[in-house]
Amino acid sequence: IMVYESGITQIETKLDILNKENKIAGRRNSIETVKSRIKTPQSIIEKLEKKGLPISFTSMMENLNDIAGIRVICPYISDIYNIKNMLLKHPDITLIEEKDYIKDPKESGYRSLHLVVEIPVYLSESTHNVKVEIQLRTIAMDFWATLEHELRYKTTTSVPESVRRELKRVAENIAMTDKEMEEIAIELQHLE
């Protein structure tokens, strides 16, 4: 767990440096908030069981990519791709997997960019390549995902089809608003 926490810290530091650099250069902040978490043992066991995988330390290390998770919340959609490109330029970061749920939203309406990256963590006598899942999304996407997660994932009864459709419709409205806000921001930039 300490190694996973160190992986998170290293990526958080990279994001923090980017923010500071933007500030000094007088550019607007491309990161609104950064949240991180380590998956709980209970949640790790549940995920391995769900996938029909053995419950062991090796199985966890080999099969789960989201033990260490970072969520980066950005003002605009373009910020998401800028941050991705910036992170992937770092020689110590290797992209393992990318799922672009902004270009191809999930059936539920969920939108985010998911990256699984590997980063080396140097201990006194060994080096561990740690996988970290980075979820990048806008403030609007985060608003939807947070409330939908609470409503859908955590309910014990299954969500009726009509409610699923409603949630998807709301996600589409939000996506439209995201695009409109970015267009306004670009228009204002051109005036400067």
Taking the complex as a whole, how short is the minimal distance between the CB of residue 21 and ligand 0O2, in angstroms?
29
CA distance 112 to 104: 9
Taking the complex as a whole, how short is the minimal distance between the CB of residue 81 and ligand 0O2, in angstroms?
18
The C-alpha angle with vertex 115 and arms to 120 and 126, in degrees rounded to 5, equals 10
Q: With CB under 6 A, what is the number of residues at the site for ligand 0O2?
A: 9
Closest CA relative to residue 133, chosen from 44, 91, 70, 88: 70
Taking the complex as a whole, how short is the minimal distance between the CB of residue 66 and ligand 0O2, in angstroms?
5
The C-alpha angle with vertex 50 and arms to 106 and 35, in degrees rounded to 5, equals 55
Taking the complex as a whole, how short is the minimal distance between the CB of residue 71 and ligand 0O2, in angstroms?
8
CA distance 77 to 159: 29
Q: Are 119 and 132 in contact (CB under 8 A)?
A: yes
Q: Catalytic residues, which ones? A: 133
Q: Which of 83, 110, 137, 175 binds ligand 0O2 (CB under 6 A)?
A: 110
**What are the two backbone dihedrals, phi and then psi, of residue 26, each rounded to the nearest 5 degrees?**
75, 15
> Which of 29, 177 has the CB closer to ligand 0O2?
177
Q: Does 178 bind ligand 0O2 (CB under 6 A)?
A: no
Q: Which of 5, 32, 66, 118 binds ligand 0O2 (CB under 6 A)?
A: 66
**Which of the residues 70 through 109 are near ligand 0O2 (CB under 6 A)?**
99, 106, 108
> Which of 19, 100 has the CB closer to ligand 0O2?
100
> Which of 61, 123 has the CB closer to ligand 0O2?
61
Sign of CA dihedral 106, 7, 44, 34: negative
Question: Which residue type occupies 152?
Answer: R
**What are the two backbone dihedrals, phi and then psi, of residue 121, each rounded to the nearest 5 degrees?**
-115, 120
Q: Which of 132, 148, 175, 178 binds ligand 0O2 (CB under 6 A)?
A: 148
**Which of the residues 4 through 63 are near ligand 0O2 (CB under 6 A)?**
none
DSSP character at residue 106: -
Q: Which residues bind ligand 0O2 (CB under 6 A)?
A: 66, 99, 106, 108, 110, 114, 145, 148-149
